[in-house]
Chains A and B, each alone.
Chain A
């Protein structure tokens, strides 16, 4: 009886709770269409044939501030663009929760921070974040020109909030872009992301 009950609960629990899931590197990257800070509509399929970098973002998170405060993340975004990659910054924090970016303030935020990515995309329902399993800010994904996930995980190899650690760390994203440009698989292709949690809508 005990076993039957637990089996039923097991089955039900998998269907009912939408916990954040993690995607496997190598599988096709989930498609999405989101509104950008400028109001235009941006889809992943617009960029097929190019390397795409997704960066999960929360302007108030100390780990994100680590990269933006001294202009490092902006520099990475510019370098990526020079290498022909498309960099999309995404905010999946829900309305009413810390770190949420509303439509009105998005435009001003871009110029205030000096964002150098191709677009700042707003995902207030958290659908895109959940489909990728984004759980920290920053959490990075690199998608190859065929639309498959080539890298997921941390931005570099030093989990900390100190900006001075950046210069001595290995940046996984720029390395991944370079590998893909040479037709090679990024190595590492999968690391443990670090950062603050993405503030999805609470239940």
Chain B
């Protein structure tokens, strides 16, 4: 080629390049081993519609790109959008990734994948088409890594009703199916240990969890990416052990990411990936109290048993203060002291045998309970604190027992009286028998307490349960042994009196405290979360405090002296007000709780009520948008504390005729919930000339007067109003 022609050729090439670069972008770009193209799920869009865009990456085999958390190395692709004014594009939706291992390092990423983006067209759009342009940067690796970038764009026409699905519907279907879904009806507990994190997933309904899952963390440096993750099943619970990142010292405040089950989360064909986002500090470790469930040792559990035994011992001793036990105690002691009337040694042996009788009776009880429990487990009952049904039963058990203690109801006093008069022979066997009998005699009024002990031990291992009962027996028989060791101690025993009744009543309150604790457990199992839950439980503690106050007041009435009466009344008043003090939430607690529940006026999602109707939450934008669409709107201004509103809703929407008309006239139902402070709704009420609820308004159109319904509604009133609407 001559110089001139080569110059000309290069000039032409440059021109061509310049033209193709400036002259409208293409919808795909490529680099080595990767092609990226932009696709849409519809052929056209309409004003106010939502649609999806997607960036489709096609990679050569064995090459990969990265997930939002790339793992030990690498970089996720980045997307920088510019688009028509009337279009809003949301953040990328990441399908669940795969683990990619290179030697001792692990990355999270994909081979070929489509990343979808939700997009929205404004309802006031005037132009006949929309465009979107994405500037992409990526890193594609196999063994070596190659960075790349490119710009791709798409144009879509705007038509009246939305267009038909595009030919890419299949890619979008696959992409959306690979997105993690929220994990519901499953409770998550997290145990942070020295170098491990153990996730326990507990199903709240009948379905079975997968037998193994893989966790992909969203944040770096929380877990060791390369360490193996061990799944194990323990009954219904699925446990996952993750190795912590040893270079990170601080405690973990947030664990979020994706759990993937190859077999699908419920059955074949169900979504494989779920999102989790929890705070280890606030997840109660439901498994910690259950020694059967823990596959990792923790010293806190052994400490728990020791303190349980300690309390069992004390509890056993306190049993002797029960009104039906205490008098028997002194009689029994005196009887074998007198009848023996001889060497100290014999008396002591009698005492020991007596206590042996007591302990063995307790053990017999424990064995019966364990047998029942084992049998129950075979039948699939599961006496575990992890089952909400069990927790509810326990709540009622403790509540009943507490009330039994507190009120005048006593069980089988006649039996007790008869038995108490029995005198057994004074042989060694006789003393042993006495011990058994003493326990039996004590049962009627110790039954409430015993019931609680039995219930509490149900969640422990058989060995621990027996140990607890033995200790209870030791505790209960300890005074007997002590007295048989030195009978003169009898002098120091207090005389029976009304104080025994007070003791019995006082034992009710620990039981009520257990009820509050169990309520918290139950609430967590039902999916309620702190801080909202904590505030509710604080309220319950406050109520308990007030109840204690009232009880103190009743004591004051019964008190022996004016002085005692005054003290008790004072204590009652303090307890009452302290209860109220605990219960009132601080304003920061209220704000945090509401923020957590996404309870701000404009952020809540539409929901379906118990009548099958779809409601949208109130917001000014929503109303404006709906009015622009020309649909009639029924706004229900209501509040949880407004009885009239609640009655109205029930009366009106249970009517078939109303529901049919709502569907027929294409009415949008909007709920303006004024249960908590909401300035937007307050303003709206004022605009309609009101300053309170209930208020029910039907907006017909932007240029027509809204129909104001009366305060007290009947189905007829609403039907009449709806019939005035066109259509």
Complex-state Cα separation, A130 to B74, whole angstroms: 18
| CB nearest to B247 among chain A residues | A22
Chain A residue contacts of B234, Cβ below 8 A: 2-3
Complex-state Cα separation, A88 to B410, whole angstroms: 84
Least CB distance from A122 to B in Å reads 18
Residue in A9, A25, A135 whose CB lies within 8 Å of B73: A135
| CB nearest to A136 among chain B residues | B73
Residue in B73, B139, B295 whose CB lies within 8 Å of A161: B139
B214-241 Cβ-contact flags toward A at 8 Å (1 or 0): 0000001100101110101110000001
User: Is residue A197 within 8 Å, beta carbon to beta carbon, of the partner chain?
Assistant: yes
B43-51, B102-110, B589-597, B692-700: which lies at the interface:
B102-110
| CB nearest to A21 among chain B residues | B246
Complex-state Cα separation, A7 to B139, whole angstroms: 39
Within residues 109 to 161 of chain A, which ones have a CB less than 8 A from any CB in chain B? 130, 133, 135-136, 152, 159-161
Residue in A3, A20, A22, A202 whose CB lies within 8 Å of B295: A3
Number of interface residues of A (CB under 8 A): 46
Within residues 145 to 190 of chain A, which ones have a CB less than 8 A from any CB in chain B? 152, 159-161, 190
User: Is residue B451 within 8 Å, beta carbon to beta carbon, of the partner chain?
Assistant: no
Complex-state Cα separation, A10 to B246, whole angstroms: 17
Please tell me if the beta carbons of A203 and B103 are within 8 angstroms of each other in the complex.
yes
| CB nearest to B227 among chain A residues | A19
Least CB distance from B511 to A in Å reads 33
Please tell me if the beta carbons of B103 and A62 are within 8 angstroms of each other in the complex.
no
Chain A residue contacts of B226, Cβ below 8 A: 17, 19-20
Complex-state Cα separation, A153 to B226, whole angstroms: 18
Complex-state Cα separation, A20 to B248, whole angstroms: 14
Within residues 1 to 54 of chain A, which ones have a CB less than 8 A from any CB in chain B? 2-3, 6-7, 9-10, 13-14, 17-25
Complex-state Cα separation, A9 to B247, whole angstroms: 24
Please tell me if the beta carbons of A200 and B247 are within 8 angstroms of each other in the complex.
no
Please tell me if the beta carbons of B72 and A202 are within 8 angstroms of each other in the complex.
no
Residue in B72, B75, B228 whose CB lies within 8 Å of A20: B72
Known A6-B232, A161-B75; contact A198-B145, beta-carbon cutoff 8 A:
no
Please tell me if the beta carbons of B228 and A202 are within 8 angstroms of each other in the complex.
no
Range of interface residues on chain B?
35 or more
Least CB distance from A57 to B in Å reads 14
Within residues 260 to 301 of chain B, which ones have a CB less than 8 A from any CB in chain A? 295-296
Known A7-B295, A9-B230; contact A22-B73, beta-carbon cutoff 8 A:
no
| CB nearest to B107 among chain A residues | A197
Complex-state Cα separation, A136 to B144, whole angstroms: 12
Complex-state Cα separation, A194 to B147, whole angstroms: 14
Complex-state Cα separation, A3 to B296, whole angstroms: 9
Please tell me if the beta carbons of B247 and A152 are within 8 angstroms of each other in the complex.
yes
B41-75 Cβ-contact flags toward A at 8 Å (1 or 0): 00000000000000000000000000000001111
| CB nearest to B293 among chain A residues | A3
Complex-state Cα separation, A198 to B230, whole angstroms: 26
Please tell me if the beta carbons of A198 and B228 are within 8 angstroms of each other in the complex.
no
Known A3-B295, A159-B75; contact A17-B228, beta-carbon cutoff 8 A:
yes
Complex-state Cα separation, A61 to B74, whole angstroms: 11
| CB nearest to A139 among chain B residues | B73
Known A22-B247, A62-B146, A135-B105; contact A6-B73, beta-carbon cutoff 8 A:
no
User: Is residue B687 within 8 Å, beta carbon to beta carbon, of the partner chain?
Assistant: no
User: Is residue A69 within 8 Å, beta carbon to beta carbon, of the partner chain?
Assistant: no
| CB nearest to B102 among chain A residues | A197
Please tell me if the beta carbons of B144 and A198 are within 8 angstroms of each other in the complex.
no
Least CB distance from A24 to B in Å reads 5
Please tell me if the beta carbons of B143 and A23 are within 8 angstroms of each other in the complex.
no
Chain A residue contacts of B74, Cβ below 8 A: 196-197
| CB nearest to A65 among chain B residues | B147
Please tell me if the beta carbons of A196 and B247 are within 8 angstroms of each other in the complex.
no
Residue in B73, B137, B228, B249 whose CB lies within 8 Å of A197: B73
Complex-state Cα separation, A183 to B143, whole angstroms: 41
Complex-state Cα separation, A17 to B247, whole angstroms: 18
Residue in B102, B107, B220, B233 whose CB lies within 8 Å of A199: B102
Complex-state Cα separation, A202 to B76, whole angstroms: 24
Complex-state Cα separation, A198 to B74, whole angstroms: 11
Please tell me if the beta carbons of A202 and B144 are within 8 angstroms of each other in the complex.
no
| CB nearest to B231 among chain A residues | A6
Complex-state Cα separation, A130 to B72, whole angstroms: 13
User: Is residue A108 within 8 Å, beta carbon to beta carbon, of the partner chain?
Assistant: no
User: Is residue B141 within 8 Å, beta carbon to beta carbon, of the partner chain?
Assistant: yes
The winner among B105, B226, B234, B246 for most chain A CB atoms within 10 A is: B105
Within residues 329 to 370 of chain B, which ones have a CB less than 8 A from any CB in chain A? none
Residue in A6, A94, A133 whose CB lies within 8 Å of B247: A133
Complex-state Cα separation, A111 to B228, whole angstroms: 42
User: Is residue B245 within 8 Å, beta carbon to beta carbon, of the partner chain?
Assistant: yes
Complex-state Cα separation, A23 to B247, whole angstroms: 5
Residue in A19, A98, A190 whose CB lies within 8 Å of B144: A98
Least CB distance from A72 to B in Å reads 17
Complex-state Cα separation, A199 to B103, whole angstroms: 7
Please tell me if the beta carbons of B72 and A60 are within 8 angstroms of each other in the complex.
no
Chain B residue contacts of A7, Cβ below 8 A: 295-296
Please tell me if the beta carbons of A192 and B147 are within 8 angstroms of each other in the complex.
no
Chain B residue contacts of A22, Cβ below 8 A: 221, 224, 245-248
Please tell me if the beta carbons of B224 and A19 are within 8 angstroms of each other in the complex.
yes
Chain B residue contacts of A25, Cβ below 8 A: 247
Residue in B104, B141, B233, B246 whose CB lies within 8 Å of A196: B141
Chain A residue contacts of B75, Cβ below 8 A: 159-161, 194
| CB nearest to A19 among chain B residues | B226
Least CB distance from A20 to B in Å reads 5
Please tell me if the beta carbons of B147 and A161 are within 8 angstroms of each other in the complex.
yes
A56-70 Cβ-contact flags toward B at 8 Å (1 or 0): 000011110000000
Please tell me if the beta carbons of A21 and B144 are within 8 angstroms of each other in the complex.
no
| CB nearest to A198 among chain B residues | B105
User: Is residue A83 within 8 Å, beta carbon to beta carbon, of the partner chain?
Assistant: no
Within residues 134 to 154 of chain B, which ones have a CB less than 8 A from any CB in chain A? 137, 139, 141, 143-147
Least CB distance from B283 to A in Å reads 21
Chain A residue contacts of B227, Cβ below 8 A: 13, 17, 19
User: Is residue A107 within 8 Å, beta carbon to beta carbon, of the partner chain?
Assistant: no
Please tell me if the beta carbons of A62 and B230 are within 8 angstroms of each other in the complex.
no
Please tell me if the beta carbons of A192 and B144 are within 8 angstroms of each other in the complex.
no
Chain A residue contacts of B247, Cβ below 8 A: 21-25, 133, 152, 190
Please tell me if the beta carbons of B221 and A192 are within 8 angstroms of each other in the complex.
yes
| CB nearest to A5 among chain B residues | B232
Please tell me if the beta carbons of A6 and B145 are within 8 angstroms of each other in the complex.
no
Chain A residue contacts of B107, Cβ below 8 A: 197
Chain B residue contacts of A159, Cβ below 8 A: 75
Least CB distance from A95 to B in Å reads 13
Complex-state Cα separation, A126 to B102, whole angstroms: 14
Please tell me if the beta carbons of A197 and B72 are within 8 angstroms of each other in the complex.
yes
Please tell me if the beta carbons of B246 and A130 are within 8 angstroms of each other in the complex.
no
The winner among A13, A14, A24, A161 for most chain B CB atoms within 10 A is: A161
Residue in A14, A62, A200 whose CB lies within 8 Å of B104: A200
Least CB distance from A134 to B in Å reads 10
Residue in A9, A24, A62, A192 whose CB lies within 8 Å of B145: A62
Complex-state Cα separation, A99 to B234, whole angstroms: 46
Complex-state Cα separation, A94 to B103, whole angstroms: 10
Least CB distance from B679 to A in Å reads 40
Chain B residue contacts of A98, Cβ below 8 A: 143-144
| CB<8 Å pairs between A and B, sample of 23 | A2-B233, A3-B295, A6-B230, A13-B227, A13-B228, A18-B104, A19-B224, A22-B221, A24-B249, A25-B247, A63-B145, A94-B103, A133-B247, A135-B72, A136-B73, A160-B137, A193-B73, A196-B73, A196-B141, A197-B105, A198-B105, A199-B143, A200-B102
A sample of 6 more A-B contacts (CB under 8 A), given A19-B226, A196-B73, A196-B74, is A6-B230, A17-B227, A19-B224, A135-B72, A136-B73, A197-B74
Binding site for A on B (CB under 8 A): 72-75, 102-105, 107, 137, 139, 141, 143-147, 220-221, 224, 226-228, 230, 232-234, 241, 243, 245-249, 295-296
The 7 closest A-B pairs by CB, nearest first: A22-B247, A19-B226, A197-B73, A161-B147, A200-B103, A6-B232, A136-B73
